[in-house]
Structure 1
Amino acid sequence: MYSVIKTAVVCGFESLPVQVETDVSDGMPSFDMVGFLTSEVKEARERVRTALKNAGFRLPAKKITINLTPADVRKSGTGCDLPMAASVLAAFGFLDEHILSSYLLLGEVGLNGSILPTKGVLSAAVLAQKEGMQGIVVPWENAREAAILDTVKVIPVKNLKEFVQICQQELPETCFYREQQDFWKTEYDVDFAELRGQPMLRRACEIAVGGMHNLLMMGPPGSGKTMAAKRIPTILPELSREEKLELSQIYSLCGLLDQERIIQNERPFRSPHHTVTAQALVGGGKQPHPGEISLAHHGILFLDELAEFKPGILDVLREPLEEKKVHISRVGGSFVYPADFMLVASTNPCPCGFYPNLNRCNCRPQAIKNYIGRISQAFLNRMDLCVETEEVRYTTMKDMREEESSAVIRARVKRVHEIQRERFRGRRYRFNSQMNMEDLEKYCVLDAESAERMQEKYEEYHLSARTYGKILKTARTIADLAGAEHIQWGHLEEAFVFRNPDKNYWRRD
């Protein structure tokens, strides 16, 4: 007796199709499993055998062999429990496997026969859609997640008895799950209008978002750095449906989907603590999983108190910042996770935080130098803008004039993003910050006067080739915000203003 049931296993960011084959034959009673399995999949043998017994299915004493193919794909997670149980039941004739031939099965099995939620259901549903399958059988708790895709039928089940009963009725229409809630609405509970004063900081945030440039904020405690960073997602254009789905897949793999909303509608804002490990930041582990940079995909990765991070931690961000993805190699294979995020960081200028206000700063010059030196020049070169914030005065806090709202700023940013979308049509990238050398020479042409002044600034700021390119890209974004076709000296001058902290704090004369 032989049966085949289809399932899926997570491999990096995506799910891969897997077939669960079961053969039942005469011989010494046994229950064997093969197919490049991790420990939690191997343990499914005891879970499935006990669950079937407690669900009331009496299996004859036979030799049972389960094979998960393809054999070269490492099988991990607990989602294979349900398809294994279904394959065994089909092999013994308790259900007709052909009814499930166009369905993916996913779910963990409890010892009492209950079907428990598992991670990566949305990714499996996307796979079912790509493979042209009719639907997916999932635990009840995962039904809303799987129902995001309109073209995939969802069959939620609570236990093995219910699952077999549904299959015996040849999947009646009443067994399919439908979700009426609108998943796709985007709402934020913060607004840029709440940020008082700080015109330079507000301007830097708009420029950074306009071209998806990395931003470093320096200033004393309580000057609005964190407040501004948390509001940056509100001035970014709304995520497209495809981006929301991609982001939700990542959160599904980590078990972080909000069960009330299911879809990750808002751009993510991730703020790991400065004690974070490299593995937690970029992803990895014995069983690879996405890190903070992948959870910040299409959104903001905010590194608060940047100088407090270990230097080695910051260095691991270099490749993802350039590649917009992270590669993780393990014995079981290589995994790729998306990591297209905007990096925003903040730091105090000294250990006490109040330099250069000598009336409040009590740090020695060497202590200031050592503190700020924890941020390497190599990392700093990857920051497009650097802005200094000021202490907020009492009069500013009590000023009742309304500041620009996120909606107003977002409208300008959206227009600039559309300009860049047309500019880079047919390219692999969409924003000024991602320009290659060819496009840099094409879209960042300087007139004779600007080129001459640029040379003077180049020597004054001791620029590297990388920083020079970033200043041109920033100037291109400033020109786009101004509606200018060509970069003018005023645009370059403003771009240099946002490199002043670089010159003041890190330059070595």
Structure 2
Amino acid sequence: MSILAVLKSRALAGMEAQEVSVEVHLANGLPAFTIVGLADTEVKEAKDRVRAAIQNGGFDFPAQRITVNLAPADMPKESGRFDLPIALGILAASRQIPTRRLHQYEFAGELSLSGELRPIRGALAMSLATRRDGGCLAFILPLANADEAALVSAAAIYPAESLLQVCRHFAGKSVEDMLSRHEAAPLAAAPEYPDFADVKGQRLVKRALEVAAAGNHSVLLVGPPGSGKTMLASRFAGLLPAMSDEEALEAAAVQSLTGAFRIEQWKQRPFRSPHHTSSGAALVGGGSVPRPGEISLAHRGVLFLDELPEFDRRVLDVLREPMESGRITISRAARQADFPAHFQLIAAMNPCPCGYYGHQSVACRCPPDVRLRYQNRVSGPLLDRIDIQMEVGSVHADILASAADGEPSAVIAARVQAAAEVQRRRQGKLNQFLTPREIDHHCKLDRPSKTQLRDSMQQFKWSGRAYHRILRVARTIADLDRAAAIQLKHVKEAIQYRRVLNE
């Protein structure tokens, strides 16, 4: 005699959480426990965890031939998220728990040997997938994942602490045994960032960063050691427009894939600062089971690359495509994963190996050819994609000794927010994402502005991409100025921000 139980769960494939049927079959014969369906090592190790959890929960582990099929069979399955549905399937097939309501739920959770439910990666992505698929099933998840999963509106989340608690829920012997639907936790107050008022001097650089924040433009800061490049970059996220609910969900879902999301981070712009020894895979993501890299973890936030020329040139060049497309696709022989990567690049570098070329009081020790080789570590195609390239000069001791003279981040952020709202009303997106056709429509120039831009293009030998990027920056400057049309002064300011390292 054979018995079959079927439960629902989900497998992660990049940002997608595809539905998986967990089919448990019990048959007579020599005792055996087999898991099929393209399961990796973590899933196959569930056999020992599930066996111990069932026995330590006070249930009988069937002395039969147990076959677990994770369908569809051609979809790779990884992690311990299938422990809970496998254990429940065995208990249901062996008639130790009722089966009548199992079809109303989806399940995910890793089991300890004692039967305790441990958190899983990607709970928010799974909850989002359920809503996107139009599903109406409730989700039973570990208690530690409940807050993030409940961020999805109308999600029916039922958290549990152990396998035994889930079994009592389906046995339904008393109200106290039933799991309660989890309501979204009170969301954190407005996110806190380091304040721009801490930065003394650097008025022109602060203005450039304000423009970058208003239009989502990328920035390169070039200056000697100690001039404040890192300090400025670390405060940049506090200038960005407030995140919408959809943007916050996207960013949180990516963080959830690595298990790094915390409810306290809700609507806080990500700030990622990988070390210059990071590999290309660390930046774009990868692995036999593809996981997001730094550029995806910075989705809807800031990717800060300090000491830019110290990165391997091939590593830097992997940024070129996602900077244009806002997505990264990782292909492997057995699978393909697609991750979002709408990040705002802020990079910093010294002008030469010793760092003091152009310094007011410290002489540079680098010969011209050494300085040129150092700057050429940043490829031309990558540099061409950076909208704003600013020199950050050293700050005089008298300024450092004086009281802070800068505007607070909140004041600058209010202007940025107003400019961003103008852009969204006019074109439905920030200026950085304008297509060439939209640029022709929204970034029209008068005759003096056209002449100025044409002369600068010829003088500095800028590319067509640089032309479009200057127009986008000029449009942002005009929006900050509350100007309906781009004026000559806006074009001149945008041109000043387009510094070529080797000019």
**In 2, distance between residues paired with 1:217 and 1:473?**
19
Q: Which runs of 5+ in 2 are unaligned?
A: none
Contact kept in structure 2, 1:87 and 1:97, CA below 8 Å:
no
Sort the Cα spacing of 1:127 and 1:95 in 2 relative to 1 into closer, same or farther, 3 A. farther
8 Å contact from structure 2 (residues 23, 69) kept in 1: yes
- Letter of the 1:153 partner, please give it: A
Given residue 474 of structure 1, which amino acid in structure 2 is its aligned partner? V
| Larger deviation, residues 227-236 vs 59-68 | 59-68
Q: CA deviation at 1:341?
A: 0.7
Task: Evaluate the alpha carbon distance shift between residue 172 and residue 16 of structure 1 in structure 2; reply closer, same or farther with a 3 A threshold.
Answer: farther
Summarize the alignment of residues 240-259 of structure 1 with structure 2, pairs less than 5 Å apart. Answer: 240-258=244-262
Specify the alignment match of 1:491 in structure 2: 490
Alignment of 1:148-227 (within 5 A): 148-149=151-152, 151-169=154-172, 172=175, 175-176=179-180, 178=182, 181-227=185-231
- Is the 1:147–1:177 Cα contact (8 Å) retained in structure 2? no
The more displaced of 430-439 and 52-61 is 52-61
Deviations 1:241-295 (A, max 9, x none): 222122111111101123xx35532101100000001111010111110100011
CA offset at residue 180 of structure 1?
A: 6.9
Q: Distance in 1 between matches of 2:196 and 2:44?
A: 52
- Hey, what's the Cα distance between the residues in 2 that align with 1:359 and 1:55? 71
1:315-326 equivalent positions in 2, closer than 5 A: 315-326=317-328
Contact map agreement 2:276 2:311 (CA 8 A) in 1? yes
Alignment of 1:50-199 (within 5 A): 50-130=52-132, 131-149=134-152, 151-169=154-172, 172=175, 175-176=179-180, 178=182, 181-199=185-203
Q: Residue 340 of structure 1 aligns to a residue in which SS?
A: coil
8 Å Cα contact 1:143-1:154 kept in structure 2: yes
* Structure 2 CA distance for partners of 1:460 and 1:150, relative to 1, 3 Å: closer
- Residues 244, 263 of structure 1: 8 Å contact kept: no
- SS in structure 1 at match of 2:96: coil
Once structures 1 and 2 are overlaid, which stretch shifts more, 95-104 or 309-318?
A: 95-104
Q: Tell me whether 1:360 sits opposite 2:363 in the alignment.
A: yes
Deviation for aligned residue 1:354: 1.1
Q: Distance in 1 between matches of 2:276 and 2:480?
A: 34
Q: How does 1:409-448 map to 2 (within 5 A)?
A: 409-425=412-428, 430-448=429-447
Q: What are the within-5 Å matches in structure 2 for residues 300-315 of structure 1? A: 300-315=302-317
Q: Give the distance between the partners of 2:374 and 2:247, measured in 1 at CA.
A: 39
Q: Which residue of 2 aligns with 1:473?
A: 472
Shift of 1:66: 1.1
Deviates more, 1:454-463 or 1:194-203: 454-463
Q: Is the 8 A contact 2:188 2:264 kept in 1?
A: no
Is the 8 Å Cα contact of residues 191 and 265 (structure 2) preserved in structure 1? no
Could you tell me which residue of structure 1 aligns to residue 235 of structure 2? 231
Which of 282, 287, 298 matches 2:284? 282
**What corresponds to 2:31 in structure 1?**
29
> Do the aligned residues in 1 keep the contact of 2:11 with 2:78 (CA within 8 Å)?
yes
Contact 1:40 1:77 in 2 (8 A): yes
- Partner SS, residue 169 of structure 2: helix
Q: Is the 8 A contact 2:42 2:80 kept in 1?
A: yes
- What is the TM-score of this pair, normalised by structure 1? 0.94
Cα offset, 1:98, TM superposition: 2.6
1:338 and 1:311 mapped to 2: Cα distance?
Answer: 23
Distance in 1 of aligned mates of 2:433 and 2:151: 32
Q: CA deviation at 1:81?
A: 0.7
Q: How many Å separate the matches in 1 of 2:448 and 2:399?
A: 39
Aligned with residue 394 of structure 2, among 386, 391, 395:
391
Give the distance between the partners of 1:488 and 1:51, measured in 2 at CA: 70
* Whole-angstrom CA distance in 1 between matches of 2:184 and 2:156: 14
- Measured against aligned partners, the alpha-carbon deviations of 1:322-361 in whole angstroms (never above 9, x if no partner) come to 1101001112321100000111100000111111137432
Distance 2:146 2:300 in 1: 26
Amino acid corresponding to residue 95 of structure 1 in structure 2? I
Report the residue type matching 1:408 in the other structure. V
* Deviation, structure 1 residue 170: 6.9
Cα 1:125–1:180, aligned 2, differ >3 Å: closer, same or farther? closer
Aligned residue identity for 1:296: A
Amino acid at match of 2:213: V
Letter in 2 for 1:33: I
Aligned twin of 2:449: 450
Aligned position for 1:350: 352
Which amino acid in structure 2 is aligned with residue 51 of structure 1?
A
- Equivalent residue of 2:100, what SS? helix
CA distance in structure 2 between the partners assigned to 1:140 and 1:213 by the alignment: 40
For the residues of structure 2 that align with 1:293 and 1:365, how far apart are their CA atoms? 34
Asked if structure 2 preserves the Cα contact closer than 8 Å seen for 1:95 and 1:168, the reply is yes
Moved more, 158-167 or 332-341: 158-167
8 Å contact kept, 2:29–2:64: yes
Counterpart of 1:369?
372
The residue type paired with residue 21 of structure 1 is E
Matched, 1:463 2:466: no
Cα-to-partner distance string for 1:402-430 (whole Å, 9 max, x where unaligned) = 421111111111111112112223xxxx1
* CA distance in structure 2 between the partners assigned to 1:479 and 1:145 by the alignment: 39
Name the amino acid aligned to 2:305: L
Q: Matched residues in 2 for 1:359 and 1:194: separation?
A: 25
Q: Give the fraction of aligned pairs with identical amino acids, expressed as a percent.
A: 40
User: Quick check: 1:128–1:135 contact (8 Å CA) kept in 2?
Assistant: no
Give the whole-Å Cα distance in 2 for the aligned partners of 1:262 and 1:20.
34
Q: Which runs of 5+ in 1 are unaligned?
A: none
Count of aligned residue pairs for this structure pair: 498
Q: Distance in 2 between matches of 1:18 and 1:257?
A: 24
1:506 partner amino acid:
N
Aligned equivalents of 1:371, 1:170: Cα separation in 2: 73
